[in-house]
Every structure is written in C-alpha cells, then in structure tokens.
Amino acid sequence: MAQNIHPENDEKYIGLTVNEGISSPPTVNPYLHKTRKKRKQYTSTEFVEGILKGDRTILSQAVTLVESANYEHQLIAQEVIEKCLPHSGKSIRVGITGVPGAGKSTSIDTFGMHLIGSGKKLAVLAIDPSSERSKGSILGDKTRMEQLAIQENAFIRPSPSAGSLGGVARKTRETIILCEAAGFDTVFVETVGVGQSETAVHSMVDFFMLLQVPGTGDELQGIKRGIMEMADGIVINKADGNNIDKAKLAQGQFRNALHLFPATDSGWKPQVLTYSGYYGTGIAEIWEMVYQYIDFTKENGYFDFKRNEQSKYWMYESINEQLRESFYRNPEIQKMLTEKEHKVLNAEISSFVAAKQMLDIYFKGLTTKK
C-alpha cells in the first residue's frame, strides 16, 4: 500500500504518520483541461523549425513575440529572426498605400485572390501609425478581406500597435523576414496614405503602389508630391459603372504630372493604370506591370542595390530606436523628465540646456555602470 512506502510510517518512527489519501473526485467539467491548456512556449529552434515548415500557427506566435515589449520575448524573437534570415529575401515585396476609402482592403482581397489563383503564397502586413491612438489597428484586419481570410495560402496580420512609427515599422520589417522564411513568396505591406508611414513602407518594399480614386477631376491636388514621387505604379480604382470616364480622365492627369517629375533612380517609368477592385477588372494588367518592374530592376541591378540600401537604412533606424528607448526607459531620466519639461515651459531653462543636462546624466550613468 502507498501508506507503507512513506518513511514516516515505519514502526520505529514516532512523529505523525501519513494517512492514505482519497483519490480526487472526477472533474465536473471533463473539457476544462482543454480550455485551460497553457500555450506551449516554444524554444527558438522549435520556432524556426515550425516556420521553415510553413506552420502558420507557429509563425503567428513568433510574430507575436516580435511585437511584444517583453524583454524575454524580444530575446527569443531576435534569435528566431537571425536563424530565419538565411531563408528570407526571396519574396516580392509590394507596398500599397491610399487614403481611407480608396479601396485598399477591397483591392488587396482581389489582388490576393488573383495571385493565389496563380499559385502564389501571400502575406498581408500593415503599418498603421494611428493605431497607437485608436488602441487597435484597422489595417490588415481579416474581416476587411473576406475572401483572402479563408485562404490556406494567405497570412493576414494587422499592424503592430505599440510604440513609435519607427518601432512599428521595425516590427513589420522583421515580420517580413519570418513570413519569407515560412515560404510566402509575395508580401504586401499596406498603409494609409496620410503621412510619414509611406516613407517607412517605401523603405521595406520593392514596388510601391499608390491607389487612387477618380473624383472631381482635381485628384492631383490632394496628393503630396513626395508620395507620388515614391510610386512605381499609380493605380486608379473604381473604374466601373459611371466612373469609367472619370477614371480615364484621372489617368491622363497623373500621366501628365509624372512627366514633369525627374527620372527615377531605378530608370523605370512609373505607370498609371485603371482597374476595379470590386469587379476584378484590370487586375492582371497591374500584376504584369509589377513583374515587369521586378524583371527590369533585377536586370539593371537596381533591385539588389535598393535592398542593400534598405538594409543599411534599417541598421541605422534600429540603432536610433534602441538608443531612444534606452534613454526614455532610464529611471533617472524618467524621474526628471516632467520637471525639466516644466522648466522649459516656464522659460526657466532653454530646451537645449534641459536636453543637455539629461543627456549628460544618461551618458554618465552608462560610463559608471561599466
């Protein structure tokens, strides 16, 4: 009996003895253990193996680590990224931008179905700088892409929501690496056409696509020149029904405007096409244009040149971001930040002096730590 195997139950022992317990009663809810099951924490090697096999659940969990602010998670994430790097880089990365309502989700759904239909595997990522304020990202949401969301060969991930634009963009760039290692040969990075985020997206894609809608005939006015200059292709959506003439008019205007721009670094002449995301017309032509661009730039060496430049850019961005984070996370700095801000606002010290005082303390802290 179990009772006898306890040394306390030896006849010579004079302390308390151990009684035989009763077996635990059967659980009332036999399915409870299933719902309570803790998610398995994979090692970095298990993550990499899963990703290389194309396991989307593991890929998804790895992306969650990439996005996590937790230090331990970041350590594993960085190891996973490093091991995935040799298996990355083989996809075609396409940036897609347009103002809200331009038809990004409808178009990505249609573009995606077109690509999957031709045997591609597509990852859809997003950079949404507004998500920090709105506490939730709208871009890249699966419900916006109804057809794609249920495809085996599509992986849709909303924008990482925490941190500065630089931080959000870095996470998306790292996610691209994981998706490529998982076998996705086409990557979309979506963003809203309202400002800085285009530059971030432009710095991580091969082809940058600007989505436009035909309107009153003065489409050009609303667009920042910088965004048009970044575009390798402008595609005018909603060229259907009563809109067809307007779309053609807008196409002409954009073509004329592009003529006035200086030649691009790639030597490629940005094209202007019309299509309907809703009815799926003109889609094949858009992808012919993208592939033409890829062939053209691979041939003249610009494709590799741009990717190298992007890597260099991200090296500096990572340094900047981590320095900034380290500074603001420093407890000494956190203690004095509000007080210094106050003094600057009350004109007691200049902003430069305040900054210098804090930086001096920060750097002194670093040298004394050594």
List of residues contacting ligand GDP (CB under 6 A):
98, 100-106, 237-238, 240, 276-278
Residue among 121 and 144 whose Cβ is closer to ligand GDP: 144
Q: Rounded to the nearest whole angstrom, what is the least distance from the CB of residue 275 to ligand GDP in the complex? A: 7
Residue among 84 and 210 whose Cβ is closer to ligand GDP: 210
Token couple for 351:
């902003």
Q: Rounded to the nearest whole angstrom, what is the least distance from the CB of residue 209 to ligand GDP in the complex? A: 12
Q: Rounded to the nearest whole angstrom, what is the least distance from the CB of residue 100 to ligand GDP in the complex? A: 4
Residue among 183 and 214 whose Cβ is closer to ligand GDP: 214
Q: Rounded to the nearest whole angstrom, what is the least distance from the CB of residue 131 to ligand GDP in the complex? A: 14
Residue among 102 and 234 whose Cβ is closer to ligand GDP: 102
Strands 186-192 and 154-156: unpaired
Q: Rounded to the nearest whole angstrom, what is the least distance from the CB of residue 304 to ligand GDP in the complex? A: 32
Residue pair 95/207 in contact by the 8 Å Cβ criterion? yes
Q: Rounded to the nearest whole angstrom, what is the least distance from the CB of residue 196 to ligand GDP in the complex? A: 18
Residue among 146 and 341 whose Cβ is closer to ligand GDP: 146
Q: Rounded to the nearest whole angstrom, what is the least distance from the CB of residue 199 to ligand GDP in the complex? A: 19
Residue among 278 and 296 whose Cβ is closer to ligand GDP: 278
Residue among 105 and 297 whose Cβ is closer to ligand GDP: 105
Q: Is 16 exposed, middle or buried (0-12, 13-18, 19+ CB in 10 A)?
A: exposed
Q: Rounded to the nearest whole angstrom, what is the least distance from the CB of residue 129 to ligand GDP in the complex? A: 15
Token couple for 199:
């530059």
Residue among 233 and 277 whose Cβ is closer to ligand GDP: 277
